Chain A
Amino acid sequence: MAELAPRRTLVPIPVTDVEDPSYFHKVVDCQWACPAHTDVPQYIRLIGQGRYGDAYLLNRKSNVFPGILGRTCDRPCEPACRRGRVDGDAVAICRLKRVASDLREDVGSGLPRAAEAKNGKRVACVGAGPASLTVANDLMPLGYEVTIFERQQLPGGLMRTNIPAFRLPAQVLDEEIAVILDMGVDIRYGTEIRSMRELLQMGYDAVFVGSGAPRGKELELPGRHDEVGETHIHIGIDWLESIAFGHVNKVGRRVLIIGVGNTAMDCCRSSRRLGGEDIRVMARRPRQYFKASPWELEDAEEEGVQIVVNHAPRRFLVEDGRLVGMEFDQVEWDEGAVHSKTVGTVRIDCDDVILAIGQENAFPWIERDLPLEFSSPQLAAVDEVTMQSTIPGVFFGGDAAFGAKNIIWAVEHGHQAAISIDNHCQGVSAAQRPAQTMRLTSRKMGITQWSYHNDYNPHGRQEMARVDLKRRFERLNLEVELGFGPEETAREVQRCLNCDIQTAFQAPLCIECDACIDVCPVRCLTIIRPDWADEEELRTRLNAPAENRSQAIFVSEALPQTGRVMVKDENLCVHCGLCAERCPTAAWDMARFELGIPYAGRPAEVG
């Protein structure tokens, strides 16, 4: 029994609380990273089973716009995806979302419906972007009367005015927005809100500001406001809006895009479709510091756009009343690209310049003498959880809340604001948040049979087919990406590692036979005496050192025979189920984790 005598004083070990919904949720890397916590592995599984409509509805529950997001989402889930840590390439989560949307059968019965009786409460939303639309989506079924004021003649916000139709066809946008508006939302097009004070006096029970971050940043350099400057130098987001509404339909042959974020990518690709031939995206910094998503850069380069690094704009060159080019400093950066030094200047000729260097918030219509506090000149003070401003009953969301983000964040803000609005209207504090819940259900069917596909498919990430370059520019709104076909879909769904199928451990059953330890293909299990000083030390003492600190370590209660504990590094577990197959006592089980997410007026429910 010498083995059992403690070598060091035992410290009370922190046993992992797996009943806290956030523990297993965090193991589902994609779901955890998704601002709206979409149940990704389950929708991928449904797609694998050909249940496209169900996959669509599961998506819709949390992200409201699967068809739109399946084409345009910023995909915070993909860099988080476990598969990336296993073979270098994340599962194509976003494109599979599009599959669910493209192939969905009639899902009418699963869509939200307005309540039969109104509850007498009226909510005003400013702007018809994804944030306000989500608020309406969540509140209409509860009986609220929702009014949306929209300056433009069409709904959708930047999704309509800035995301080019070759990435997001209008029909997809129309369909998904119609589901919400058709519940009877009172939408007032062409109505710009010019005064918050007046809006507050209109007697609404709550106000939601979803007006976005509408102002494109300026580049104040010599020549900007000359006469030519006004006609041949464009602010990216305004220019894209003019294209969307048909006010602009051509551009010069040589175009310079200043800035290298996602807006720049849409500007350069739009230029390509409006007659631009020599198109350069001018970046100050080296490539690894670009804000644009890698896939957007690839798309632009495929279309012949040049990306030029280490060029800082100096001035616009105007000759004989004509914009002829721009002058740039050529710069060199130190390690980490913190400091630069100028090593020369260069002139680049062009016909048009598009400024795509960022967006700002602007609230000229909010009077500053209201009790609505601002945290900066551009931004109102907004609570990150409740989305409430310093006026109770006035909420912000989407780009209007904390500056420009993306669609999926706008949706999540909308969900949270809807909860707050519902609370507010029912006399409950916005701070009182409904809890998340969870459910674990075994996937065991037989000794070595599971009701999930546990085999590892070594296929690489599937490429998406696109319209041939020869045909791609025929029409401005020709969608470039063609969606996954049946074969890509079948392979891609099997790349998912089923992170929602959790390894659930019951310490009292374990006989410490080591079978699980031996079989685990990634050596992520260790049975160890609980005598480490802290988690840092524990991480170094496992069968395979646990170096990814962003991933949790599971620690069981004491095992019955020796008092040692089972430790699992969640980082590389591929959810293969082999530990549970080799365990003689079923101390390990593979169980599906479902997160119950609360929405306005609907407490968290699973299934």
Chain B
Amino acid sequence: MTSIAKPQIPLLPLERNQLGLTIRDYSGSMSTLCAGCGHDSVTAAIQEALWGLSIAPYQVAKLSGIGCSSKTPQYFDSAAVGFNSVHGRMAAVASGAAAANRDLVVVGVSGDGDSLSIGLGNLAHAIRRNVRMLYVIANNGVYGLTKGQFSASADIGSRSRKGEPNLLPPVDPMLLGLSLGATFLARGFSGDKAQLVPILKAGLSHGGFALVDVISPCVQFNDHEGSTKSFRYVREHELQDIDADIIPVRGQIHSEQTPGSVTEVELHDGSRVLFRAVPEGYDPRDRVRVGSYLVESARRGEIATGLLYLDETTPDMHQVSATTQDRLWDLPFDRLCPGSAELAKFQARLR
């Protein structure tokens, strides 16, 4: 908590996006998280990405489960619709929202506990369906809200604040995603917005399920010596040799120069991702190579970050199910619910 709300300074010179809005127009209420919590930086990065892409604030649906991380949708984009689901069920609710209104920009924020422990099944199937949404896991290795128990992303040997080591192997959401056919996989760090914001922008422009794992230290329960998700540990072990730029079709256009020798991937809305630097032999579209890169870097004790995997060819949920182009609320009621006579006819066909 803070003692006061952010002062609204009338003369503040703020940059405007294509909609004429400033970053302030994407803000929410004041955070009630612990001072210094990584999740607040994730919030700031999401806000910056939405603003930078000139996404209309009301066009956004922000969803979450339960946890400190899941509280954060409250802290950005007050004009959006929001849904705070039960623990671990955000992916299901988000799938429904995306199905009902294909124009929504769906942003889910969850935690490692919410997504990788209780919610793992829901997450797995949203990945499989390739629901078009940005799914952020603010990953701190603990259940912050319930006072710091190890979560399913805690590394073996990482120690709790009291010194006990974690004995179970971690779920790596990137490897999990690869195995389930995810189409966009990226990892960032709350302490590095210069990298995180472009990743989030790419995820928001992606034509399917964009899974972004953000290492987001819990200053209260997991930022001590012995933790592998502390600010210091991540800074010392971060492997940042994949360097990608996003050139969005909407939003702010910055340097448009395409550098030489880049791998370029076009996103569904026409935005482009340019991989400026990748390790020798790395192809962000090659599942097998990406998989081995992740396993190898993890074995070396490194945390690989960047836009790791990207596939724009797999159809998303709407395409697979050949759903209507209309938002469901735009359909006349007799089309949405054709009545019992139609139902009887349909059932007759199945007899």
Chain A contact residues, CB within 8 Å of chain B = 1-4, 85-88, 447-450, 454-456, 458, 511-515, 517-519, 521-522, 544, 547, 561-562, 572, 574, 576-578, 581-585
Contact = CB atoms under 8 A, between A and B. Distances in A.
A547 to B, nearest CB: 8
Interface size class of B (residues with CB under 8 A): 35 or more
B311 interface: no
Contacts of A3: 192, 195, 235, 238, 240
Interface string B1-13: 1111011111111
B9 A522 contact: yes
Interface string B123-148: 00000000000000000000000000
B2 A519 contact: yes
B240 A2 contact: yes
B275 interface: no
B223 interface: yes
Contact of A513 (B3, B8, B41, B239): B41
Nearest to B3: A448
Given A513-B219, A514-B41, A514-B190, A522 B12 contact: yes
Given A3-B240, A519-B2, A519-B6, A584 B43 contact: no
B22 to A, nearest CB: 11
Contacts of A521: 6-9, 12
A87 B36 contact: no
Contacts of B191: 512-514
Given A454-B4, A458-B8, A574-B7, 17 more contacts: A1-B240, A2-B241, A454-B3, A458-B10, A511-B36, A511-B219, A513-B231, A515-B36, A518-B41, A518-B44, A544-B13, A544-B14, A576-B4, A581-B35, A582-B40, A583-B35, A583-B36
B235 A562 contact: yes
Q: Which 10 A-B pairs have the closest CB atoms?
A: A584-B36, A456-B7, A518-B44, A2-B240, A521-B6, A448-B3, A513-B36, A514-B41, A455-B4, A584-B219
Interface in B235-275: 235-241
Residue of B8, B43, B241 with most partner-chain A CB within 10 A: B8
B38 interface: yes
Residue of B14, B36, B193 with most partner-chain A CB within 10 A: B36
A581 B2 contact: yes
B11 A85 contact: yes
Contacts of B43: 518
Contacts of B44: 514, 517-518
A5 B6 CA distance: 35
Given A2-B241, A512-B231, A86 B9 contact: yes
B34 interface: yes
22 contacts: A1-B236, A4-B235, A86-B12, A87-B9, A455-B3, A456-B7, A456-B9, A511-B231, A511-B232, A512-B235, A513-B41, A514-B193, A515-B35, A518-B44, A522-B12, A561-B231, A572-B12, A582-B2, A584-B34, A584-B36, A584-B37, A585-B36
B111 interface: no
B235 A561 contact: yes
Contacts of B232: 511, 561
A86 B2 contact: no
Contacts of A585: 36
Contacts of A449: 3
B2 A515 contact: no
A312 B288 CA distance: 87
A526 to B, nearest CB: 11
Contacts of B217: 513
Contacts of A2: 238-241
Contacts of B31: 519
B37 A515 contact: yes
Contacts of B41: 513-515, 518
A9 to B, nearest CB: 20
A518 B40 contact: yes
Nearest to A85: B11
Contact of A448 (B2, B13, B40): B2
A576 B6 CA distance: 8
Interface in B8-49: 8-14, 31, 34-38, 40-41, 43-44
Contacts of A515: 35-37, 40-41
Interface in B197-230: 217, 219, 223
B231 A86 contact: no
A518 B35 CA distance: 11
Residue of B3, B13, B34 with most partner-chain A CB within 10 A: B3
B92 to A, nearest CB: 30
Residue of A512, A581, A584 with most partner-chain B CB within 10 A: A584
A447 B1 CA distance: 9
Contacts of A512: 191, 231, 235
A192 to B, nearest CB: 53
Contacts of B235: 1, 3-4, 512, 561-562
B69 to A, nearest CB: 15
Nearest to B236: A1
Contacts of A448: 1-3
B6 A513 contact: no
B9 A572 contact: yes
Contacts of B223: 511
A474 to B, nearest CB: 41
B128 to A, nearest CB: 33
A577 B5 CA distance: 11
Nearest to A574: B7
